[in-house]
Structure 1
Amino acid sequence: MSISASVVQFLDKQALNYLLTDPLSGPNWHDQRLMNHSAARATLLENDEEKLLAIYPADALLDLEAVNRLLGLDTRAMSPATLRGLFEKHKLSSVPALPGLAGMTTVIEQSLFDRSHLYLDAGSRDQLLELPADAFASMAKEAIVGDIAVPLINLEMPQDESDESIILKSVSQFTEQRIKDRLEETLELPPLPETAQRIIKLRVDPNADISDLANIVETDPSLAAQVVSWAASPYYSAPGKIKSIHDAIVRVLGFDMVLNLALGLALGKTLSLPKDGPFGVTPYWRQSVYMAAAMEGLVTAIPRESRPGFGMAYLSGLLFNFGYLVMAEVFPPHFTKICRSQEANPHADYTLSERHLLGMTRDQIASWLMQVWNMPEEVVFALRQQHNPLCQGEHAAYAKLLFVARRLLAQRGLGCGPKRDIPAQVYEDLQLDPAKAEATINNILESSAELENIASQMAPAA
Structure 2
Amino acid sequence: MALAARLQRFLARKGIPYSELPTPQADDLESAVIASGQSRSDFVQATVLIDVGGALLVAHGLDSALDLDAVFHLTGRRLQPLTARQTMRLFGDCDPGFVPPIGTAYDLPVLIDDDVAHAETVLLTGGANQGVVKMDGRDFRRALAGARTGHLVIRGQGNGDRAALSLDEVADKLQRLYRLPPMPALALRILRLTAHSEATAKELAELIELDPSLTAQIMRYARSALFNYPGQIHSVQEAVTRVLGFDRVAHIAMGIASVRAFDVPRKGPLGMDNFWRHSLYSAFVCQSLAVHCRADKALAYLCGLLHNFGLLLIGHLFPGEFEELNVLHADNPEASMHSLEQQVFGHAREEQILAVGHGAIGGILHKLWQLPDAVIKTAAMHQHPGYHGDHETYVLMVQLSNALLKPRGIGDEFNPDDVPALLESLGLAPDTVADLETEIDRVAPDLDALANSLSS
Confirm or deny: 8 A CA contact 1:62 1:344 kept in the other structure.
no
Gaps of 5+ in 1: 1-51, 70-109, 123-127, 142-147, 170-182
1:334 is aligned, of 294, 318, 321, to: 321
Q: Is 1:344–2:331 an aligned residue pair?
A: yes
- Corresponding residue number in structure 1 for 2:243: 252
CA distance in 2, matches of 1:195, 1:160: 37
Q: Give, in angstroms, the shift of residue 53 of structure 1.
A: 9.9
- Corresponding residue number in structure 1 for 2:365: 369
Instruction: Evaluate the alpha carbon distance shift between residue 139 and residue 281 of structure 1 in structure 2; reply closer, same or farther with a 3 A threshold.
Output: farther
Q: Give, in angstroms, the shift of residue 260 of structure 1.
A: 1.1
Give 2:202's aligned amino acid: S
Instruction: Evaluate the alpha carbon distance shift between residue 209 and residue 333 of structure 1 in structure 2; reply closer, same or farther with a 3 A threshold.
Output: same
CA distance in 2, matches of 1:61, 1:328: 32
Matches within 5 A, 1:207-222: 207-222=198-213
Q: Is 1:323–2:310 an aligned residue pair?
A: yes
Matches within 5 A, 1:292-307: 292-300=283-291, 302=292, 306-307=293-294
Q: Give, in angstroms, the shift of residue 430 of structure 1.
A: 1.5
Moved more, 440-449 or 236-245: 440-449
CA distance in 1, matches of 2:278, 2:324: 22
Q: Is 1:456–2:452 an aligned residue pair?
A: yes
Confirm or deny: 8 A CA contact 2:60 2:112 kept in the other structure.
no
- Corresponding residue number in structure 1 for 2:296: 309
Moved more, 225-234 or 347-356: 347-356
Gaps of 5+ in 2: 1-40, 50-56, 66-98, 123-134, 143-151, 346-354
- Corresponding residue number in structure 1 for 2:89: none
* Percent of aligned positions that are identical: 27
Give 2:424's aligned amino acid: E
CA distance in 2, matches of 1:161, 1:185: 15
Give 2:316's aligned amino acid: E
- Corresponding residue number in structure 2 for 1:286: 277
Confirm or deny: 8 A CA contact 1:248 1:254 kept in the other structure.
yes
Give 1:270's aligned amino acid: A
- Corresponding residue number in structure 1 for 2:169: 165
CA distance in 2, matches of 1:453, 1:307: 30
Matches within 5 A, 1:123-162: 136-138=137-139, 149=153, 161-162=165-166
Instruction: Evaluate the alpha carbon distance shift between residue 61 and residue 295 of structure 1 in structure 2; reply closer, same or farther with a 3 A threshold.
Output: farther
SS at 1:235 equivalent: coil
Matches within 5 A, 1:38-187: 67=63, 113-114=102-103, 136-138=137-139, 149=153, 161-166=165-170, 183-184=174-175, 186-187=177-178
Q: Is 1:225–2:216 an aligned residue pair?
A: yes
- Corresponding residue number in structure 2 for 1:431: 427
1:198 is aligned, of 173, 178, 189, to: 189
Instruction: Evaluate the alpha carbon distance shift between residue 138 and residue 456 of structure 1 in structure 2; reply closer, same or farther with a 3 A threshold.
Output: same
- Corresponding residue number in structure 1 for 2:128: none
Confirm or deny: 8 A CA contact 1:346 1:417 kept in the other structure.
yes
Give 1:335's aligned amino acid: F
1:420 is aligned, of 411, 416, 423, to: 416
Q: Give, in angstroms, the shift of residue 272 of structure 1.
A: 2.4
**Greater CA radius of gyration, 1 or 2?**
2
2:379 is aligned, of 371, 375, 383, to: 383
- Corresponding residue number in structure 2 for 1:18: none
Moved more, 347-356 or 440-449: 440-449
Q: Give, in angstroms, the shift of residue 167 of structure 1.
A: 5.6
CA distance in 2, matches of 1:418, 1:56: 26
Give 2:394's aligned amino acid: Y
SS at 1:234 equivalent: coil
Instruction: Evaluate the alpha carbon distance shift between residue 61 and residue 233 of structure 1 in structure 2; reply closer, same or farther with a 3 A threshold.
Output: farther
Q: Give, in angstroms, the shift of residue 290 of structure 1.
A: 1.3
1:420-450 C-alpha deviation (Å, 9 max, x unpaired): 2425332222222232134213321233222
TM-score (norm. length: structure 2): 0.63
Confirm or deny: 8 A CA contact 1:282 1:415 kept in the other structure.
no
1:357 is aligned, of 319, 322, 344, to: 344
Matches within 5 A, 1:9-24: none
- Corresponding residue number in structure 2 for 1:397: 393
1:220-257 C-alpha deviation (Å, 9 max, x unpaired): 11111111100111121111222111111111111111
1:379-428 C-alpha deviation (Å, 9 max, x unpaired): 00010011223222331111111100001100232222124242533222
CA distance in 1, matches of 2:137, 2:380: 42
1:71-93 C-alpha deviation (Å, 9 max, x unpaired): xxxxxxxxxxxxxxxxxxxxxxx
1:267-295 C-alpha deviation (Å, 9 max, x unpaired): 12221232564489971111112111211
TM-score (norm. length: structure 1): 0.63
Confirm or deny: 8 A CA contact 1:56 1:149 kept in the other structure.
no
1:90-136 C-alpha deviation (Å, 9 max, x unpaired): xxxxxxxxxxxxxxxxxxxx9765458877869xxxxx99xxx9984
Instruction: Evaluate the alpha carbon distance shift between residue 158 and residue 209 of structure 1 in structure 2; reply closer, same or farther with a 3 A threshold.
Output: farther
CA distance in 1, matches of 2:169, 2:452: 38
Give 2:288's aligned amino acid: G
CA distance in 2, matches of 1:441, 1:281: 25
SS at 1:192 equivalent: coil
1:161-201 C-alpha deviation (Å, 9 max, x unpaired): 432423666xxxxxxxxxxxxx4363213321111111221
Confirm or deny: 8 A CA contact 1:282 1:414 kept in the other structure.
no
Confirm or deny: 8 A CA contact 1:257 1:311 kept in the other structure.
yes
Instruction: Evaluate the alpha carbon distance shift between residue 274 and residue 61 of structure 1 in structure 2; reply closer, same or farther with a 3 A threshold.
Output: farther
SS at 1:394 equivalent: coil
